[in-house]
Amino acid sequence: MLRFIVRRLLQLVPILLGLSLLLFTWLRLLPGGPAQAALGERATPEDIERYNQVFGLDQPIWVQYLKFLGRAVQLDFGNSSRTGRPVTTEFLERFPGTIELTVFAMVFAIGLGIPLGYLAARKHGSWIDSTSVIGSLLGVAIPVFFLAYLLRVVFAVDLGWLPGSGRQSVRIDATHVTNFYVLDGLLTREWDAALDALLHLVLPGIALGTIPLAIIVRITRAAVLDVVNEDYVRTANAKGLATATVRRRHIIRNALLPVSTTIGLQTGLLLSGAVLTETVFAFGGVGSALKDAIDLRDYSILQGFILILAVVYVLVNLLVDVSYGLLDPRVRVK
Amino acid sequence: MSAVGGAAGPVLQVEDLRVRFQRRGEVATHAVDGVSFAVAPGETVGLVGESGCGKSVTSLATMGLLPKRGVHVSGSVKLDGEELLGAGDRTLRKLRGKDMAMVFQDPLSSLNPTVTIGTQVVEVLAEHRGMKGDAARREAEDLLDRVGIPDPRRRLGEYPHQLSGGMRQRALIAMSLACSPRLLIADEPTTALDVTIQAQILELLRDLVQGSGTALVMITHDLGVVAGLCDRVHVMYAGRIIETAERRDLFARPRHPYTGGLLASVPRLDGGRGAPLTPIRGSARDTIPWTQGCAFAPRCDVALDDCLVEVSGSEVELADDGAGRQLRCRHPLTPAVPTAGAHP
Amino acid sequence: MSAALGDRRREKIDALAARAGQVPEGEGGVSLTRSAIRRLRRDPVAIIGAVIVVVFVVVAVLAPLLAPRDPLAQTLLGQVRQGFIPGAQDGFPLGVDQLGRDTLSRLIYGSRQSLLIGVVSTVLGLVVGMGLGVLAGAFGGWVDTLVMRFVDILLSIPGLLMAISVSVLLGRNQYALMIAIAVTQVPVFARLLRGSMLSQRDKDYAVAARALGVKRSRIVFGHVLPNSLSPVIVQGTLSLATAIIEAAALSFLGLGDPDISRPEWGAMLANAQEVLSIRPELAVYPALCIIVVALGFTLLGESLREALDPKFRR
């Protein structure tokens, strides 16, 4: 198992190198180049020249890449052209919010998706089945940001049931230790703050989790329908095992294998969707910051954030691969 | 034959078993069409026929393992006198694995790939014998040892993909014998295995059944398996039994042209190098409904006009055919005209 | 054959056997494509999907004939005030937007641009992705390693973020939009085709062809590639849906096509956000169009998958 993990980690190296090269090239190809990116739209030609000299941009391109790589390894992605603060600082400040949001969305998608998919398969051909199939087809067809607006207008603006913007109400005077607001509330025992932060996650979380939910329902359903017809399920029944044992040990356990592999891929959808959802709910996480960076042409932020998010995505998938290994002995034990 | 397990009479009695598959919007197919047979304690009975003749469906219906939707089962299946058809799921689950067990064709796909062999054996012991923990593990180890798996303690912790094909089938047999069932159904247990392993598995089955009084139903298309193992043989075609005989009788004097054909299509060591193999014409698809005549007629070399209902006015019935034999044929092969090489 | 049975009787029995329906009508004789089409025609899901797609394509093609008004004319601009947009009225069945333009006509014309973006970006992604996939699948070895590493790198950036980077790089115009979406599709197609080709390459017929000394290019392009295409066709259909949704997302983020002479659903939806509190239906109409078209392509793609792969279950 350890060798499996090490091997997978080694496979990451070329991907991460390629990723850095890609984003390095991207910044270079931008109109105005890195100087413009760092100094912003209003920089004068003299500023740009001075910048180029100071940061060695007149050196050969491969030297520049190595320097970029060296800085990237130390998590130095330059400064935001808008605020002048380091990109990494900006990211770390906002990432906890996005993590809370994506985790909520994923819990929503998995917690609802797997039971629903299982139920649909067990009641194959019933109205529950048809409804979840149609629902899951609709789920992937709805533009995320439209759904986000819809939820916000209906449940926050019109009905006023749930908060529709930000991460926490202004009236709450919460202490922030980790910047994970829900966690902070629990750590400091400010229960109302934790609850308030949690409520702020509900609408954007549901909007963000809908596509993964739709996909998980469909995959679970298909997997259960497949597994139910497997020979080993027939064997389990032939052994006279209790229905509950057959379901738990022989059907669900095997049906979860294909589901677990897709969960890693869903993270990509979540990180993409976070840009849209956070924008609609003015959530103030990484996604909102990316939208601002697009509007203001803050290229350092774009480059740094996208690079870090890609690394996060790759790492999550590695994690999912490893846990898949734990679930499936055919991968683990050779 | 003495009754070992208490009740006298057959362990398994199947009467007029019919299984109809009805998919939405499709014509119903009669997979099993009035099959009757019985198996006595300690007896080994073979159900023989080509794929699609209904032999596997018969065994699944006996075990109550057919899906419920779109399947109609009628007739009677009695295990030690207790009616199984129409019995509730709970009742059947108590019987399956304990009083009647089954060994399947493909040992790899029949074992759960994500659960250890040990767990898969122990779960039967836990379900039916209430065994737990160390006691269950020791018993499982003992079972694996009995079916000839070397180093059983290590194997208990391994997964199906780590075992060879023969080992997997032995493990499945161990699971099926965990509660010393009164009835064991083996559905083509050797088809997926290497030839050398096949013989070992058959020998194992014979040894395990002999003396224990377990009734064994052997489902196969392989007459070699029948020759080595079975006391009685029922030959099936298109969902019906067409010939029944003691093993020795059947091989010596096949009466139904289909049985004759089956025997003729098996290569024989004593047949000489030049002796031709005679395959049966066509395939199991080339058949007519029994209501219109003998289903085998389209492939039969000796069929006559009166094999059709249209001509004779009646269906071909299964009738007694001398000592302990039954036959469903109007123009049986007479011993005087054996098909090429069709005698032992 | 024995003389026991007259030829006439023989025919009679054969006819009975055929009528019993035990012999399926030449499964082996009918080509896979033909039997797939036959399955599609019987599948209600496929029919619904196809009808949706066809209707929208017809609307797009006939837009100038169908649209009641000029989609660009700001006819009712005079009635628009701060905080007020006139609703549906005679001649404007779906009302007007904040610039006084007829919504229905804009939706009809919008289908052209939205479908165009979907089709062009998918075809672009398909062609490039298939090129990479064939390269990797046909040559194997280091070419395969190199191509697949590149594909892995592309895949490591979540889709929309990739599209954002490309879009920022190329500026705001419709071609940038199409390319940005295409880039996110490339690795998907490349991976799919390579995987499919690898599994086909090991099938008995390909091994047999190799053993018979058939030239490699002939095996790849004559046998392996055609047999590997079905998952790509399915994915292509499904990708049309994703492309249209993604275009809307990019428009929403301010990376859409700024040319106001080409109404587009994504842009309409994005623009409607400004006036959501006054006229929410201005967002709902284009969103519904996007959802229905995406659903149409998805239904078609899913039933194609089922038709091309009989083992697959919906």
pLDDT at C257: 82
C183 touches chain A (CB under 8 A): no
Chains in contact with chain A (at least 3 beta-carbon pairs closer than 8 A)? B, C
- The SS3 assignment for C282 reads helix
Same domain, A210 and A249: yes
CA A231, A236, A237, A243 torsion-angle sign: negative
CA distances from A295 to A39, A82, B203, C31, C73 (A): 16, 11, 79, 54, 29
Answer yes or no: is pLDDT of C23 > 60. Answer: no
| C302–chain A Cβ distance below 8 A for any pair | yes
Mean pLDDT of chain C: 81
Alpha-carbon span C74 to C52, nearest angstrom = 30
Nearest-by-Cβ selection for C13 from B27, B297, B331: B297
| A44 and A111 together in one domain | no
Mind giving me the DSSP string for A157-181? IIS--S--SSSS-TT-----SSS-H
Question: Which residues in C lie closer than 8 A to residue A309 (C-beta atoms)?
Answer: 157-158, 161
Q: Which residue of C has its CA nearest to B280?
A: C1
Q: B19 near B71, Cβ under 8 Å?
A: yes
Q: Is residue A120 part of a domain?
A: yes
Torsion-angle region of residue C91: left (phi > 0), alpha (psi -120 to 50) or beta? left
Interface B–C counts its CB contacts (< 8 A) at 42
Please report whether residue A333 resides in a domain. no
| Confidence at residue A334, expressed as pLDDT on a 0 to 100 scale | 53
Q: How far is Cα of residue A132 from the mean position of the Cα atoms in its chain?
A: 24
The fraction of chain C above a pLDDT of 90, given in percent, is 24
| DSSP reduced 3-state for B246 | strand
Encoded tokens for A50: 């001075």
Q: Is the pLDDT of residue A10 over 90?
A: no
**Domains in chain C with CATH codes:** 34-73+90-312 (1.10.3720.10)
DSSP B140-168: HHHHHHHTT-SSHHHHHTS-GGGS-HHHH
Name the pLDDT band for C241 (thresholds 50, 70, 90): very high
Same domain, A171 and A234: yes
Using the Cβ of B289 and the Cβ atoms of chain C, whether some distance falls under 8 Å is answered with yes
Contacts of C158 in chain A (CB under 8 A): 267-269, 271-272, 309-310, 313
CA distance A287 to A277: 8
Q: Is A322 within a domain?
A: no
Do A134 and A49 belong to one domain? Answer: no
Contact A240 B115 (CB under 8 A): no
Measure in Å the smallest separation between the Cα of C273 and chain A Cα atoms.
8
Name which of C153, C160, C277 is nearest A18 (Cβ-Cβ). Answer: C153
What average pLDDT score do residues C251-265 get?
85
Between chains, do B298 and C17 touch, taking CB under 8 Å as contact? yes
State whether A47 and A176 are in the same domain.
no
Say if A306 falls within a structural domain.
no
Query: A281 in helix, strand or coil?
Result: coil
Residue-level pLDDT at C181: 94
Instruction: State which of A74, A105, A138 marks the end of a domain.
Output: A74
C228 CB within 8 Å of a chain A CB: no
Largest CA distance in chain B: 69
Is residue C99 helix, strand or coil?
Answer: coil
Query: A294 contacts in C (CB within 8 Å)?
Result: 164, 168, 253-255
Consecutive 10-residue runs of chain B (344 residues): their mean pLDDT? 54 92 78 91 90 88 87 91 88 90 89 91 90 89 88 91 89 89 90 81 83 87 85 92 90 88 75 67 77 86 83 83 84 58 41
Pick from C149, C161, C280: CB nearest A271: C161
**CB contact C146 to A (< 8 Å):** no
Nearest to C22 among B285, B297, B301 (CB): B285
Residue C1's pLDDT band, with cuts at 50, 70 and 90, is: very low
CA–CA separation, A119 vs A117, rounded Å?
Answer: 5
Whether the predicted pLDDT of C132 surpasses 90:
yes
Q: A171 falls in which pLDDT band (50, 70, 90)?
A: confident
Q: How many structural domains comprise chain A?
A: 2
Residue A240 inside a domain? The answer is yes
* Per-residue model confidence (pLDDT) at position A209: 93
Q: Given B95, B98, B114, which is nearest A327 (Cβ)?
A: B114
Q: What is the ipTM of this complex?
A: 0.86
Higher-pLDDT residue of C313, B132: B132
pLDDT over 70 (residue A131): yes
Listed range (A53-62, B265-274, C45-54, C88-97) with the worst mean pLDDT: B265-274
Query: Is residue C253 within 8 Å of residue C136, measured between CB atoms?
Result: no
Identify the residue among B286, B306, B308 best suited for mutation to test binding to C, counting C beta carbons within 10 A and taking the highest.
B286
| Length reported for chain B | 344
Which range has the worst mean pLDDT, A88-97, A109-118, B319-328? B319-328
Give the per-residue pLDDT at A204: 94
What is the structure's pLDDT at B274?
64
Contact assessment for residue C176 and residue C121, using Cβ atoms and an 8 Å cutoff: no
Q: Which residues contact A108 (CB under 8 A, 6 or more apart)?
A: A205, A206, A209, A213
Within-domain flag for A300: no
Residue-level pLDDT at B305: 82
Q: Is A46 on the interface with C (CB under 8 A)?
A: no
Q: What does the pLDDT look like over A275-308, one tens digit per residue?
A: 999 999 988 889 999 999 888 888 888 889 999 9
What single string gives the DSSP state of each residue in B168-200? HHHHHHHHHTTT--SEEEEESTTTTS-HHHHHH
Q: Using the 3D structure, point to which of A248, A268, A285 is the last residue of a domain.
A: A285
Cα B239 to the chain's mean position, in Å? 13
Contacts by B79-87, CB closer than 8 A, 24 or more apart: B79/B11, B79/B12, B79/B182, B79/B183, B80/B5, B80/B6, B80/B7, B80/B11, B80/B182, B81/B7, B81/B9, B81/B13, B85/B61
The answer, yes or no, to whether residue C313 has pLDDT greater than 50, is: no
CA distance linking residue A99 with residue A164, whole number of Å: 18
Binary contact (A239, B127; C-beta < 8 A):
yes
Q: Sort out which chain B residues have CB atoms less than 8 A from C22's CB and list them.
A: 285-287
* A103 within a domain of the structure (yes/no): yes
Taking 3-state DSSP, the helix, strand and coil percentages for chain A, each rounded to the nearest 5, stand at 80, 0, 20
For residues A100 and A232, membership in a common domain is answered with: yes
- Which of A146, A221, A300 is the best mutation test for C, with the most CBs of C within 10 A? A146
Q: Spell out the domains of chain B, with CATH numbers in brackets.
A: 1-99+182-268 (3.40.50.300), 108-178 (no CATH)
Handedness of CA B171, B175, B181, B187 (dihedral sign): negative
CB contact under 8 A, C295 and A137: yes
Using DSSP's 3-state secondary structure scheme, residue C18 falls into helix
How close A84 comes to chain C (CA, Å)? Answer: 21
Q: Would you call B93 and A243 a contact, using CB atoms and an 8 Å cutoff?
A: yes
Whether residues A127 and A234 share a domain: the answer is: yes
Question: Do A247 and A133 lie in a common domain?
Answer: yes
User: A124 to chain B, minimum CA–CA distance in Å?
Assistant: 11
Do A268 and A120 sit in the same domain of this protein?
yes
Q: Which has more pLDDT, B339 or A214?
A: A214
CB atoms within 10 A of CB C204: 7
The answer to whether B248 touches B232, Cβ cutoff 8 Å, is no
Given pLDDT bands bounded at 50, 70 and 90, which one contains residue A117?
very high
Q: Does C293 have pLDDT greater than 90?
A: yes
Q: pLDDT-derived band of residue C34, with 50, 70 and 90 as boundaries?
A: confident
C298 at the A interface (CB within 8 A)?
yes
Shortest Cα–Cα distance, B74 to chain C (Å): 23
Asked if A148 and A204 sit in the same domain, the reply is: yes
Residue A225 within any structural domain of the chain: yes
- A99 in reach of chain C (CB within 8 A): no
Interchain contact C241–A (C-beta under 8 A): yes
* Residue appearing with tokens 């589901």: A259
Chain C contact present for A78, CB below 8 A: no
Selected residue with higher pLDDT from A79 and B3: A79
Between CA B164 and CA B166 the distance in angstroms is 6
Top-confidence residue, C99 or A15: A15
Distance from CA of A107 to the nearest CA of B (A): 25
Q: Based on the domain organization, do A114 and A261 belong to the same domain? A: yes
Least CB–CB distance from B287: residue in C1, C2, C17 = C17
**Interchain contact, B96 vs A249, CB within 8 Å:** no
Our CA-based measurement puts residue A330 at a distance from the nearest CA of chain B, in whole angstroms, of 7
Query: What's the pLDDT at C311?
Result: 52
Q: Kindly tell me the sign of the dihedral angle through the C-alpha atoms of C174, C177, C179, C185.
A: negative
One domain for residues A250 and A149: yes
CA B224/CA B10 separation, integer angstroms? 26
Contact B159 A253 (CB under 8 A): no
CATH number at residue A164: 1.10.3720.10
Its domain, for residue A107, covers: 95-285
B237, B287, B288, B294: which to substitute to probe chain C, counting the most C Cβ within 10 Å?
B288
Residue C8 has pLDDT above 60, yes or no: no
